[in-house]
Structure 1
Amino acid sequence: MNELPAAPLHVLRSRTSEKWREYPSDVIPMFVAEADFPLAEPIAAALHSAVERGDTGYVASHTELPRAFAGFAERRWGWSLDTAHIQTTADVSMGIVEILRRIDVGTGLVITPPVYPPFYMLAAEAGVPVVDVALTPEGTLDLGAIEAALHRGARAVLLCNPHNPFGHPHDAASLSALATLADAAGAIVVSDEIHAPLTHSDARFTPWLSVSDAARRIGFALHSASKAWNIAGLKCAMMIADDPDRTAFLRSLPDEVAWRTGQFGVIASIAAYDDGEEWLDRAVLTIERNRRTLVSRLADEVPDARVHEPHAGYLAWVDLGALGWDADPADVILERAKVALRTGADFGPGGAGHVRVNLACDPALLEEAIVRIVTVARGDRVTSTS
């Protein structure tokens, strides 16, 4: 199977999304989680067909999306969703907020930094306090520290699986242990699994709701095709429960939660899950190639940099603290190298001195970005060529 080529640079620069409009044209944008690949052909065909027939109204109360996702989950992860309840909303973040608004978090919501920065904003929007429980240096769950937080009264955990920014899919054993701890404490676990379809060939994704009866009893999972197939602007995500009480909870949400779902998002997601796996596999091949390039090049040319090699998603977490820059590494690299990266400080405790790099791009563009970063790390200012 061949890698998936990125769209040509002139096409990318004609896009009007955040990635290609936030910075001037001399900056290589690798900061936000958008991919540079062309839209998957089955998705494009489904959207064209919808436009041609004028299928641009409100989302129906029943769609083919649960069936399409269940088939994908069974093929991809061996996850049977025969009994699960699936409700749509506009995006994963909105689903998280709607759940958090209606559960009792006790003394706080456990979040595991460094982690996807909007988690903190979502907790604030829902009006719940946060309890930070840092990951281990390897990017795994610190179960002992989570247990201690639950013992002190925290009654909810917001899980990122696979974890952003480490690109680490949590293993079945640690997820099962977390389920046991949370169940014993009477806590709810909400698992953001948006990066799951992008798990690499040398790793395995374990869905939260598949690990045990305890996980199903206390948990919700959130999924979307938005990240894997680069369709975030079409607005469609799924909140999933696989327990009678959790199902009743989702059914009790206001009708407006589901009505916020985008019609084009549903159409595109069905096409992605039904017919988009070949495209997805090719995209992952390109991401894995870029992962290897980043790890090997920085190891050879900037040995003080530490790359936490991702095994899911297309985001790499890089520790540049040893370079000794007084300013934030992302600021230094943007100003001197004209490469836009996400600053690690945004990811909560443990993020300072780090940057997050987007690998869903043309290998040649990544090579140019690395050349610029290496030049700056060696003390020279670079002149952009793109």
Structure 2
Amino acid sequence: MSTIPLDALPMETLRRRSSSKWRTYPADVLPLFVAETDFPLAPAITAALSDAVAIGDTGYTPRENGLADAFAGFAQRLFGWSVDPARVRPTGDVMMGVVELLRATTRPGDAVVTTPPVYPPFAMCIEEAGCRVETVPLVDTGAGWQLDLDGIDAALAAGARAVLLCNPHNPTGTAHRPEALSALAEIAARHGAVVISDEIHAPLAYDDTPYTPFLAASPTAASVGYAVTSASKAFNLAGLKCAVMITAAEETAAVVRALPPEVEWRTGLFGAISGVAAFGGASDDWLDALRARLDGNRRLLGDLLRAQLPQAVYRMPEAGYLAWIDLSAYGWGDDPAVRIQRDAKVALHHGPQFGAEGVGFVRLNFGCAPDVLTDAVTRIGALAPA
């Protein structure tokens, strides 16, 4: 881990931003909902984008843009995962990649398995691809969450043709274990199904829980799987529109190669430029510093909840900067974020949007300064009975 401290930008600077996080609510509301962070960009990214602007480099994104090699090096350094750059293809964002892969691997009307509580756009993207959502909720073990492999097996046996996996999982922050991923791959192979793995939060996996990419879980996973990821969550680049689709077998690589050229043309040039700067090695120290700051924040959040909201149920995420918190004990309704935004002036993500399993929950973004996090939880705590 880097010893270089990474501090969030001051609030007066953040409120000059024009992104969704800072334009959705009035200025008296602390926005801890959407997955944007409050830190300055990695210096290598700032330099690359500044140079591009200075020379007017704002044209079309070339096919050979450096992303494949940069991502392959990044995967090897962070995860010990050997990726063939020839099997990396860019697109505009992760959900765009998911939709196109579903269109290529399913037929209209097919069922696609999701594992709620899960990122709300999963359902929307499955429907955009012409498929139906088949939910197999995560299993709450009392200590964490895990895939319901028997339930997924039954859904595929009943005709579902794909599993849309979130690894690490949003909103729980679960880094799925290699044995579970390997077992999932065997189930998919047995039923002739595919697994499409959204791995956008992988660069923010913490050291105390080693992260396993789905395609690296086993030879079978490599044969049935597709991964889609981006620098956008870890490096706060969502608005620049760039993601990569990765395969690890010739048959799946052929599917990606056969996607329409427009899938690749949708990649933003600034997204590709910043993605190379993020993945290429020059931003590794910055990423280490970010993880160190987020590690402190996820622990601080636990302390704050114990002090301010002792009936809240919170398990530290194993990856990312999103906390999944059960506030049902406080009787604030199925969607506690509504009252919290109205009365505490803190905007959190609405738990029920992640599925029926999110009733009574909120998702909190702790990718901010510790004092902002403290202020937010203190405000919410003031709503709780004495």
TM-score class, shorter-chain normalisation, is over 0.9
Q: CA deviation at 1:107?
A: 4.5
Amino acid at match of 2:123: Y
Matching residue of 2:127: 124
Task: Work out whether residues 328 and 334 of structure 2, in 8 Å CA contact, stay in contact via their aligned partners in 1.
Answer: no
Distance 1:184 1:22, change over 3 A: same
Q: CA deviation at 1:327?
A: 5.7
The count of residues paired between Structure 1 and Structure 2 equals 379
Q: Of residues 20, 37, 40 in structure 1, which corresponds to 2:39?
A: 37
Matching residue of 1:382: none
Moved more, 178-187 or 77-86: 77-86
Moved more, 123-132 or 82-91: 82-91
| CA distance in structure 2 between the aligned counterparts of 1:30 and 1:57, rounded to whole angstroms | 34
Moved more, 83-92 or 3-12: 83-92
| CA distance in structure 2 between the aligned counterparts of 1:107 and 1:252, rounded to whole angstroms | 21
Local SS of the residue matching 2:234? coil
Q: Deviations over 1:194-231 (max 9, x none)?
A: 00001112121101111112111111000100110001
| CA distance in structure 2 between the aligned counterparts of 1:49 and 1:8, rounded to whole angstroms | 25
Task: Work out whether residues 341 and 355 of structure 1, in 8 Å CA contact, stay in contact via their aligned partners in 2.
Answer: yes
| CA distance in structure 2 between the aligned counterparts of 1:208 and 1:152, rounded to whole angstroms | 24
Q: Of residues 219, 241, 246 in structure 1, which corresponds to 2:247?
A: 241
Matching residue of 2:64: 62
Task: Work out whether residues 84 and 240 of structure 1, in 8 Å CA contact, stay in contact via their aligned partners in 2.
Answer: no
Matching residue of 2:187: 181
State percent identity of aligned pairs: 52
Matching residue of 1:339: 346
Matching residue of 1:316: 323
Pair 1:53-2:55 in alignment: yes
Task: Work out whether residues 84 and 242 of structure 1, in 8 Å CA contact, stay in contact via their aligned partners in 2.
Answer: no
Task: Work out whether residues 329 and 353 of structure 1, in 8 Å CA contact, stay in contact via their aligned partners in 2.
Answer: yes
Task: Work out whether residues 84 and 243 of structure 1, in 8 Å CA contact, stay in contact via their aligned partners in 2.
Answer: no
Amino acid at match of 2:81: W
Task: Give the TM-score normalised by the residue count of structure 1.
Answer: 0.96
RMSD, aligned α-carbons: 1.2
Matching residue of 2:294: 287
| CA distance in structure 2 between the aligned counterparts of 1:326 and 1:29, rounded to whole angstroms | 21
Task: Work out whether residues 74 and 279 of structure 2, in 8 Å CA contact, stay in contact via their aligned partners in 1.
Answer: yes
Structure 2 runs not aligned, ≥5 long: none
Distance 1:265 1:83, change over 3 A: closer
| CA distance in structure 1 between the aligned counterparts of 2:235 and 2:7, rounded to whole angstroms | 14
Q: Deviations over 1:327-374 (max 9, x none)?
A: 621011001100000010000120110000001000000000011011
Q: How does 1:227-266 map to 2 (within 5 A)?
A: 227-266=233-272
Q: CA deviation at 1:318?
A: 0.1
Pair 1:328-2:331 in alignment: no
Task: Work out whether residues 185 and 220 of structure 2, in 8 Å CA contact, stay in contact via their aligned partners in 1.
Answer: yes
Q: CA deviation at 1:82?
A: 2.9
Pair 1:224-2:224 in alignment: no
Matching residue of 1:384: none
Local SS of the residue matching 2:146? coil
Distance 1:341 1:83, change over 3 A: closer
Structure 1 runs not aligned, ≥5 long: 380-386
| CA distance in structure 1 between the aligned counterparts of 2:150 and 2:307, rounded to whole angstroms | 36
Q: Of residues 128, 150, 165 in structure 2, which corresponds to 1:144?
A: 150
Distance 1:71 1:134, change over 3 A: same
Q: CA deviation at 1:84?
A: 5.2
